[in-house]
Copies of this chain bind each other. A is one copy, B any other.
Amino acid sequence: MTIQAIAFDAYGTLFDVYSIRESAEKIFPGSGAALAEMWRDKQIEYTHLRTLCSMYKPFWEITQDALVFCCNKLGLSLSLEAQNALMGEYAHLQVFPENLPVLQELSDSGMKLAILSNGNLHMLQSAVDAAGMQGIFNHLLSVDAIKKYKTAPEAYQLGPDIFAMPAKNILFVSSNCWDVCCATWFGYTTFWVNRHAAPIEELGVVPHGEGRSLLDVLEFLRKHHKT
């Protein structure tokens, strides 16, 4: 297997969406963790439903819709101020501490790097800038270009298209097990950053590599990257 490029998922993989929990906890004491987790699940569910029904709308809006639903569900009164504060978190997410040096090392080695995300470009650019990752990525790929969210094949196809190489030569890295499993189905070489030691999804498919942080991606490449 020759890996010539890497496509990273953004939310949960490069940027810590669960860091939102702390802001949520300040606004809704006792409910921050529950809100953050439900918000993330609902956000992803809405991307699936809207893609299945060809009812695309941008990720920023879906994220806001999901927040409104979750506050209703949890009986939390969402003021406009709280909504703006929580949505604002998405523009400057915390970054996992090992990520920047790993990405810098990969970039310095000549590996081509991209983000392939559900987020719209404005969200991605804000998160990259806030994380000090300017200049690291060759491409920021948003599904907004094709109006279908992962795990639609058209979304995964953005990687092979931009790098002009087969998916198997691209390492797709995500912390979301459903994302790496479906990317494996699509044809990528895949690596699951299993940050929380979760069980694997029972989808009958296994990612090619698995680790606990982005550091393990380096190890995987050392073992398998035959140029």
User: Residues of A at under 8 Å CB distance from B?
Assistant: 41, 45-46, 48-55, 57, 65-66, 68-69, 72-73, 150-153, 178, 181-182, 185-186, 198-199, 201-204
Contact = CB atoms under 8 A, between A and B. Distances in A.
Kindly report how many copies of this chain are found in the complex they form together: 2
Contacts of A68: 202
Contact of A49 (B54, B72, B203): B203
Contacts of A54: 153
Nearest to A74: B199
B48 A48 contact: yes
Given A69-B199, A69-B202, 7 more contacts: A45-B45, A49-B181, A54-B153, A55-B203, A68-B202, A69-B201, A73-B199
The listed residue with most B CB atoms (<10 A of its CB), out of A46, A151, A186, is A151
B72 A199 contact: yes
Q: Is the interface of A mostly helix, strand, loop or mixed?
A: helix
Given A151-B49, A178-B49, A55 B185 contact: yes
A52 B152 contact: yes
A70 to B, nearest CB: 9
Contact of A53 (B65, B72, B185, B202): B185
A52 B199 contact: no
Contacts of A51: 52
